[in-house]
Structure 1
Amino acid sequence: MSAENGTAGPPGTPAGPQPEPIRFFGTTWVDHTGGYAARRAGVAVGSLATSAAACFVLRIAYQGLQIADIGSFVTLLMTVMFAICSALAFRHTWSAFTTRPDPERQASLRGLLAIGFIGSLVAYFFRSLTEAPGEKLHRAEYDTARAEYEKRTTRRSGNPSKKRRRST
C-alpha cells in the first residue's frame, strides 16, 4: 500500500475497487475513452467477418458431405446439429453478458459451445452494436463495489473516544 496516496497500486491509481478489464476493451468501458467507439466498431466488424468466414467453411464441409454421398439422413443430421448447437451457443453467450455463468455448467457446455461457435460470434456481434460485450454486467458489479467501498470508508469518521454516550 502506497503511503502518499493511500492506494494499493502504483501512484495515481485511485483507492478502492478497480474495474475488471473486458477482452478487446481493457478498462476503457468505464468512461468510454481510449478509442472505445473504434474498438466497439472493430469488434462488431471482426465478429461479423469471422462468423461469415465460419459459415463459408461450414458450407465447404457441407459440400464435402454431398460429394461423399453419405446419405441425406447424415447430411440432415449434421445440419440440424450445427443449427441447434449454434442456437444454444448464442443463448448461452447472450445470457453470459448479463449474468456470471456457473463455472461447472460452463465446463460441461464447452463441447457444445465449440460446435456452435457461430452462434457465439453472432451474439458477440449484436451485443457490440450497443455496448462492449459484458459491459452491463461489469458496470453493475463495479458500481456496487464502489458504493460498498464508499459506504465502508465514510462510515467511520472522527475519533470514537470523543463520541458522546447516549444515556439510557
Structure 2
Amino acid sequence: MPEFHALSLLGVSVQQLTQSVKQLSALPHIGEQRIRLVVDPTQVTTAAQLVKEGQLPAIIVSVAGYPTGRHHTLIKASEARLAVQSGAEEMWVSVDESIEDSNTHLSELITIREACPDPIELGLVANGDDETPSGTQAAVQAASLAGFQRIIVKRDAPELVDAAAPLEVHVVDL
C-alpha cells in the first residue's frame, strides 16, 4: 500500500488554515511524498493558493456530503464539481450508510464520478459503524464499481479491508 498522510483541516477558520499551511511550508520537504490537506469545500480556493505560494508538496482534498451523507445526490455532485473547479485534486464523499441497497449507492457514486472525471481521485468516507454494517458494505462495493480509488475509514475497521479490494483503505482522523 502506498504511503498515505492526511491532515484534516475540516472546520478550521481561514486564519487557522493559513497558519497551518505556513507551518507545513516551513518543515523540510519529504521528497516525493505529498501530504493530503483535507479542507471544507468553501476553503479549497484559499488552500490551493496557500499551497502554491508556499510551494508545498500537497494534494488538496475536499469533502462532499460530509459528515452524514444525507444530502441529495445532485447537491453532493455539485459540491464536488465546484470544489474540483476551485482547485481540489481529490474528493472524499460521504453516503447515507443507513441505505442498504447497493444500486442506490452505485447510482449516487456514479453521478459523483461523472461530475469529477479522471484524473480526479475519489474516496468514500465509511464510518465502519457496527450500527450500519450492511449499508457500509453496500456503499463500499458500489464505490469499487463506480471508479473510486480508496475507502477512508474514521476508525480501524478490519472488515472493510476485505470488502474494499481492490480499493485502498486508509484510516484517517477526520
What is the TM-score when the length of structure 1 is the normalising length? Answer: 0.26
The structure where helix makes up a greater share of residues is 1
Using the size of structure 2 for normalisation, the TM-score is 0.25
Between the two structures, name the one with larger relative contact order (CA 8 Å, sep ≥ 6).
1
